[in-house]
Amino acid sequence: MSDHLARLNPEQRESVETIDGPLLVLAGAGTGKTRVLTTRFAHILLSRKAFPSQVLAVTFTNKAAREMRERVAAILGQPAEGLWLGTFHALAARMLRRHAELVGLNASFSILDTDDQMRLLKQVMEAARIDTKRFAPPALMAIIQRWKDRGLPPGRITAAEDSDFVAGRAKELYAAYQDRLRTLNACDFGDLLMHVTEILRGYPEVLAEYHRRFRYILVDEYQDTNLVQYLWLRLLAQGHQNICCVGDDDQSIYSWRGAEVENILRFEKDFPAARIVRLERNYRSTEQILGAAAGLIAHNTGRLGKTLRSGRNDARGDKVQVHGLWDSDEEARMVGERIEALRREGHASAEMAILVRANAQTRAFEERLITLGIPYKVIGGLRFYERQEIRDAVAYARVLNQPSDDLAFERIINLPRRGVGEQGLRAMHARARERSIPLTAAVMSLVEDGGLRGKVRDAMRGLLEGFARWRAGILQEGHITTMAVMLDESGYMEMWKQDKSVEAPGRIENLKEFVRALADFESIGGFLEHVALVMDNEQNADGDRVNLMTLHAAKGLEFDTVFLPGWEEGVFPSQRTMDESGLKGLEEERRLAYVGLTRARQRAIVSHCANRRIYANWQSSVPSRFIEEIPAEFVEMGGAGSLERERLLRAPSFGAQFPMMARRPQVQEAWEQPARAARADAIPVGTRVFHQKFGYGRVTASEDDKLDIEFEKAGAKRVLDRFVERA
C-alpha cells in the first residue's frame, strides 16, 4: 500500500493522502497531475475507504478516462471494473437513462449529433415563421447551448439571462426546440448534464440515493468545467463533501465553449473548509523553457498564482529560439530543415510537434513535410464519427435500432437517391403529424393507400421491407453481419462505389472500418451509445511520425521538440478573439501560448513571418506581442545571422517592422489604455470610412475606440476604430 506513495513528492503526497473533505489541487503544467489523480483513486480503494463503485471520477475526454482506468488497474493489479469513471457526458447519460422519465423522456432516448440538432432547430424556426436567412440557426444554437452550459432550461431563463436575438423570441424558440426533442425522445449534448442537474435539484430522493452511492468524487481538468458541470458536481458533493478537483487556471483555454475559470474561485466559497495544494515542481521541461513560460503567463491578471520550478536536475537546456521569416513558405521551409537536422542527429520524429493556432495553418507544413519525405500525422481535424459517410451509416443503424427515429430516417430516406423530393417528404410529414405516428409508419401507410406512386412507392416499400428483414437478421446472423448486409442491400455502399470523386475510395474504407468497429459491442444500442459519446480519433498512432496539430489539441501532451509557428499579431493572438472578447480573450490567447511552450521538454522554436496570406491577399504582419513578453534572458533571436534575417532587414518595406525593432502600431496601446477618452485621431460621426472586411460605410456613433458604422453592403456593425480608415 505504501508502494504507490513512495515515489511522490511532498505536495503530491499531500494531494493523495488528504482523502476526506474538499480539496483543490492547483497543478501546473508537467507537475504530475494525472499521477496524483490515479494514485489518489487507488489510495482510496486500497485504504478501504470505499468500494470501487462508490467513487465517482470525472474527466473531459475519453482518452483521459481510459488512461485513468488503465493506471488505476495497474496500481490495483486487477482490471478496474464497475467504476463510475468516465467523461462528464458519459456519466450524465448513464444517470439520465436511469431517471429519464422524470424529464419526460424514455430510457432509450437517443443522443443527437450536431447535424440533427441543427436541422431540428431550423425546422422549429421555420415553423415559427422566422426568416432563417436573417437569423442564422447556428447563431441561435450557440445561444441555446450557452444556456444549457449554464444549466438553464427554458423555464429558468430570467430577464437578465434572456437574449434579444431573433427579435426577443430566442427563449420561445428554445422552449419549442426542447418540446420537439422530448417528442422525439431525444437529447442533444447539452441536455445530458442539464437534465440530470434538473433531476438532482428537483427530486431530493434521487439526490439522496447518489449521496449514498458516491462517497468520493474526483475531477480532472477542473478549470474547464462549465457552470452546469459545476452545479452537478456541487449537488453530488453536498452530502459528504469529499470532492477533489484538480486543475490549472493558467491552462484554461476553452472559455468559448462555456468553461468558466471562475469555478476554481467559487470552489473555495462553496466549500469553505477546502484545502488547497499547489503542485509547482515541474518534471517535464528545462529551466529555460519554464522561465520563458512563467515570464509570459505573468502578464495575465487575476491568476491564482503558481510558480513552476524545475524538478529536474539535468542541464539548464537551450534558450527558446525565435525566428523571423519572410513569409509562411519560408517558415515552413525553416521548420522542415530543423526537423531534418534533428532527425539526422538521431531524434525521433514522434518526439517533435508543430503546434499551430488554427487548423488551416497545418497545410503549409504538410506540403513541406511531404516534399521532404518526412512522415507526419495530423492530430485532430475531422474525427471518424464526424465524417459524412459514417454519419450516414450511423443513421441507418439508428433506424434499425429504433424505427421511430425520425431524424435518422429523414437523413437516409434519399441516400442513395430514391426519388424522394421535397414534395414527397412534405406528404410524409403531413401524414405523420396528422396521425401522430413516426415517419417510417407514415411512409408505410402512404405506400399502402396510394399516397405515394410509381418509382418512389417501390423504393419506399423496398426500404421498409429491408429494415424489417434486417431487424430480423440481427437475431439470426448477429448485428455485425446484418450491418454489412444492410449497407449493401440498401444500395448505400453501391452509391459510393459509383462515385468517381477522389474521396470515394477512402469513404468505402471508412465504412468497412465502421462495420469492424461494431465487433467491440454486443448490440447496436450499445454501439450507438458509444458513437454518440465517444469521438475517438486514435488514427495511425503507429510509426515514428512528426506531430501536427492545433495548440488546443496539444493540451495534455508533451514532446522533446516543439515548433510554434505563426506568432504574429492578428494570427496569434487571434484578431477575432480580441475583437469578440477583448482583454479576456487576449488573456486566453496568452494561456494558449503558455500551453504551447510548456509542451516542450527540451527545445521550443517560435517563429513569425513578415508576410502572410490571409484568404486571397497577402498582408504584412507584425510579430506577436507574446514574443516580447518572454523575458529576454530565456530567448535566442534568429538563427544567428541567418539568411532570412538579413534579407528581412534589407527588405525596404518591412525592415522597419522586424522583430523588436519597431514600436508596434496602435494595437497594443489600445489594450493598455482602453478607456482613453476623446483621442486626437478620433473619427467624427458622419465620416465616410473603409473597412477591410465590410467595405464602405458611414460612422453613426462613437464610444471610446469603438465605432458604430452603417456599412453600405454589410449593414450596421460595431467595430474598433483601428480597423477602419477614412475613405
Partner DNA sequence: AGACACGGATAATCT
Partner DNA sequence: ATCCGTGTCT
Contact 167/160 with Cβ under 8 angstroms?
no
Q: Does 500 bind DNA (CB under 7 A)?
A: no
- The angle that helices 88-99 and 189-202 make with each other, rounded to 10 degrees, is 60
What is d(CA 337, CA 665) in angstroms, rounded to the nearest whole number? 32
Q: Does 98 bind DNA (CB under 7 A)?
A: no
Q: Does 34 bind DNA (CB under 7 A)?
A: no
Q: According to CB under 7 A, which residues from 458 to 487 bind DNA?
A: none
What is d(CA 306, CA 26) in angstroms, rounded to the nearest whole number? 8
Our CA angle for 321, 378, 370, nearest 5°, is 80
- Which residue's CB is nearer to DNA, number 359 or number 481? 359
Nearest distance, CB of residue 669 and DNA, angstroms:
22
- Which residue's CB is nearer to DNA, number 229 or number 321? 229
| Percent of residues in the chain assigned helix, strand, coil, to nearest 5 | 50, 15, 30
Our CA angle for 654, 660, 666, nearest 5°, is 75
What is d(CA 398, CA 20) in angstroms, rounded to the nearest whole number? 44
- Which residue's CB is nearer to DNA, number 254 or number 634? 254
Out of 276, 370, 468, 535, the residue judged to bind DNA by CB under 7 A: 535
Q: According to CB under 7 A, which residues from 257 to 296 bind DNA?
A: 257, 259
Nearest distance, CB of residue 481 and DNA, angstroms:
29
Q: How many CB atoms lie within 10 A of CB 507?
A: 21
Sign of CA dihedral 102, 107, 112, 117: negative
What is d(CA 280, CA 290) in angstroms, rounded to the nearest whole number? 11
The amino acid at residue 307 is T
Catalytic choice (39, 223, 251, 361)? 251
Catalytic choice (113, 116, 188, 221)? 221
Catalytic choice (40, 284, 312, 599)? 599
x/- letters, 343..382, toward DNA (CB under 7 A): --------------xxxx-------------------x--
Nearest distance, CB of residue 421 and DNA, angstroms:
2
Q: Does 420 bind DNA (CB under 7 A)?
A: yes
Please give the DSSP secondary-structure letter assigned to residue 684. Answer: P
Contact 233/11 with Cβ under 8 angstroms?
no
Give me the phi and psi of 141, to 5 degrees please.
-60, -40
Instruction: Using the rule CB under 7 A, give the single segment among 10-18, 228-236, 443-451, 534-542 that binds DNA.
Output: 534-542
Out of 224, 249, 260, 406, the residue judged to bind DNA by CB under 7 A: 224
Out of 424, 473, 491, 623, the residue judged to bind DNA by CB under 7 A: 424
Q: Give residues with Cβ within 8 angstroms of 257, minimum separation 6.
A: 149, 226
Nearest distance, CB of residue 45 and DNA, angstroms:
24
x/- letters, 170..209, toward DNA (CB under 7 A): -------------------x--------------------
What is d(CA 623, CA 345) in angstroms, rounded to the nearest whole number? 30
The amino acid at residue 96 is L
Strands 635-637 and 320-327 come out as parallel
Nearest distance, CB of residue 360 and DNA, angstroms:
6
Instruction: Using the rule CB under 7 A, give the single segment among 461-469, 494-502, 520-528, 574-582 that binds DNA.
Output: 574-582
Q: According to CB under 7 A, which residues from 678 to 707 bind DNA?
A: 693
Nearest distance, CB of residue 566 and DNA, angstroms:
12
Out of 295, 419, 462, 631, the residue judged to bind DNA by CB under 7 A: 419
Contact 547/559 with Cβ under 8 angstroms?
yes
C-alpha cell at 303: 491568476
**Number of residues binding to DNA, judged by CB under 7 A:** 54
What is d(CA 431, CA 79) in angstroms, rounded to the nearest whole number? 52
Q: Where is 186: in which H helix or E strand? A: strand 186-187
Q: According to CB under 7 A, which residues from 591 to 620 bind DNA?
A: 615-616
- Which residue's CB is nearer to DNA, number 98 or number 316? 98
Q: Give residues with Cβ within 8 angstroms of 420, minimum separation 6.
A: 413, 414, 456, 459, 460
169 tagged catalytic:
no
Nearest distance, CB of residue 517 and DNA, angstroms:
15
x/- letters, 124..143, toward DNA (CB under 7 A): --------xx----------
Out of 70, 337, 488, 580, the residue judged to bind DNA by CB under 7 A: 580
Nearest distance, CB of residue 218 and DNA, angstroms:
16
What is d(CA 258, CA 148) in angstroms, rounded to the nearest whole number? 9
Q: According to CB under 7 A, which residues from 58 to 87 bind DNA?
A: 60-63, 87
The region, left, alpha or beta by phi > 0 then psi within -120 to 50, assigned to residue 570 is left
- Which residue's CB is nearer to DNA, number 75 or number 92? 92
Out of 37, 83, 90, 446, the residue judged to bind DNA by CB under 7 A: 90
- Which residue's CB is nearer to DNA, number 265 or number 632? 265
- Which residue's CB is nearer to DNA, number 495 or number 637? 495
Q: Does 116 bind DNA (CB under 7 A)?
A: no
What is d(CA 231, CA 237) in angstroms, rounded to the nearest whole number? 10
Nearest distance, CB of residue 50 and DNA, angstroms:
25
34 tagged catalytic:
yes
Please give the DSSP secondary-structure letter assigned to residue 319. Answer: P
Nearest distance, CB of residue 257 and DNA, angstroms:
5
Q: Does 256 bind DNA (CB under 7 A)?
A: yes
Q: Where is 666: in which H helix or E strand? A: helix 666-672
Using alpha carbons, select from 154, 161, 165 the residue that is nearest to residue 125: 165
Instruction: Using the rule CB under 7 A, give the single segment among 95-103, 415-423, 433-441, 444-452 that binds DNA.
Output: 415-423
CA distances from 59 to 68, 451, 532 (A): 9, 51, 17
Out of 222, 254, 271, 492, the residue judged to bind DNA by CB under 7 A: 254
The SS3 of residue 295 is helix
What is d(CA 213, CA 195) in angstroms, rounded to the nearest whole number? 20
Q: Does 221 bind DNA (CB under 7 A)?
A: yes
Catalytic choice (116, 149, 188, 220)? 220
220 tagged catalytic:
yes
Q: Where is 481: in which H helix or E strand? A: helix 454-489
Q: How many CB atoms lie within 10 A of CB 671?
A: 15
Instruction: Using the rule CB under 7 A, give the single segment among 49-57, 302-310, 490-498, 531-539 that binds DNA.
Output: 531-539
Contact 324/607 with Cβ under 8 angstroms?
yes
Catalytic choice (12, 33, 545, 598)? 33
Give the CA count within 13 Å in the CB-facing half-sphere of 124. 26
Q: Does 574 bind DNA (CB under 7 A)?
A: yes
457 tagged catalytic:
no
Q: According to CB under 7 A, which residues from 631 to 670 bind DNA?
A: none
The amino acid at residue 244 is C
Nearest distance, CB of residue 635 and DNA, angstroms:
26
Out of 246, 534, 597, 609, the residue judged to bind DNA by CB under 7 A: 534
Contact 588/577 with Cβ under 8 angstroms?
yes
Nearest distance, CB of residue 283 and DNA, angstroms:
22
Question: Strand order in 724-726's β-sheet?
Answer: 715-720, 706-711, 695-703, 688-691, 724-726
Catalytic choice (13, 18, 34, 722)? 34
Q: Which stretches of the chain bind DNA, using CB under 7 A?
A: 60-63, 87-90, 114, 122, 132-133, 189, 221, 224, 253-254, 256-257, 259, 357-360, 380, 383, 414, 417, 419-424, 533-537, 549-550, 552-553, 574, 576-577, 580, 585, 588, 615-616, 693, 713-714
Please identify every residue annotated as catalytic.
33-34, 220-221, 251, 599
